[in-house]
Chains A and B, each alone.
Chain A
């Protein structure tokens, strides 16, 4: 029975691996065609004995990120779920079987492959349902996918215009690497010697090295809760422009939960990038949980993105519903683990803004700078905020003194 329905795997290992790679790609693991060849080579040398070895051999080749392990596991289970399927594949790799002539594909094989892919799709649907089910539990989240196309034409034009005008300033960070420099303080012996060789070694013209400078990484934490909804699209456009310009920008969105959209925002086309971001996020325009979002960031990401002198842009109005010790604690930790923490607050647009809201007062002592960000013009201000010079007017301590 199993024989009649089961696939004829003998001599068709390559094809099966190819289909499996395709399934992985469908599941979201970037698998190149080079990996397929690698997988075949690996299976060849590993002389796989059982299911576990088969699993880990393919895992070694196809998975390049820890996050993908889970996807691989699911795809593997579904793809190779038929009992005895792997055993047959393994058997087909044994030398004596491998010499059998390649057979023309049997009609049954195609059907099984379809079934396998059907299974994969089924699984995908199912996981989506799970997500939905989980979301309905939370009453505070507005399950609304903001469509960026809703942005009015004038708005888009204005935003694009503003963003086009933004030239990123030279915010440079000294690295510990050296580069040739006229005003350096270290002698570059390599270049000196080469230069003096030109003169036959008679003349020694000293060349110098100075510290190399480079842009620090930027980490943006953008509040996308309801109270911020008028601004988020604009900021996303801005962050896209920044990401385009610089190499090291990590972007996170948070409302009631934290979402990493760094990869999505890297798409070349701004509309495409923003659409990809909005597809990732489930809590647009909902409530805010700043403390728990920061906590998630500190725990999962701070050690991975806040290295090498990162600047953090925290874009939020600071209107936390339950501002308590956790918020202060997480802000403190965030502040301690980055080089500079800049808070961009659209509420600062009101001339008489005072740090009265409890959330704002809790967060203020921990930021290096507090700046307004409420219209297109203030985006230019934001650019200046990135330029490395701390501004006196926006010192958080002055703001706190005002209230006290």
Chain B
């Protein structure tokens, strides 16, 4: 997994209220001819040098938003500003923005070299400058040996590199990536994630990536936005979104999650006590904002935050009992599906520390599961 080794100034830019955003998307809406809202009143501020991801299922409007940034789709409403300049009505060929297409869209009648040079030729640079930039770009993506090949003589991974080199060749202020790793097989995809982040750090360009793969978004992005039905549900760093999802949808979209529904019975200073039909005892969770008694809430707990215990806790809080129904061995960890006596299935993830554990869990074992007050979040949406 790529290490996030960014300049802290860049990493923190969105927390500084005085920082000037590099890209501002203001209330952008896209309505297609049939009257469907592909993008519905989206506003975003993206800062220089960020690797920002738009994450969502197919049809959520993320690609339409990206295409509006590239100028390939017109905004029905709203404005897009880059460094304060309004580019909403600017045609794509005048924008300081380049895009890497999902299908790569390499020109089949041109060599690798000519593909990379295409954008530079439009700028009327001198032949020498074009040649030096092309070789610099091909070196960046390790494709110098293939300069004279045609796209149909390249593998999928090589084509992806050429597409990246072509979109970076003009030194755009903003690079848009539409599912850049979507067409690669799993092994190659993991390696390319690494490289893409490295290249982004080296060139310092602001990247906006569209993806449906939550793992990809988590590993590569500085921040990401979760989208559904044309709207942005949450914007934050990968850990913020994973640890503090704002809604059940976000919690369920990013990683696996166990959800317990209930009502607030007592609101202590920074904790809430919840009565749930899903658990035998009460649930006590940390929660910063006070909640009214009786509020319907959902407790979201990640599988790795649950603990396997031999007996119920003495205070009768934060626990559940069940039987192991299914076991998924993933090498480093094992996932257990535990069926509770209240007809729920709960996922637990256990790290496989030793090669042989003393009493490993097996099918039909009866187990007690517990968690801490800060192990999950209380959701009201």
The yes or no verdict on A and B being binding partners is no
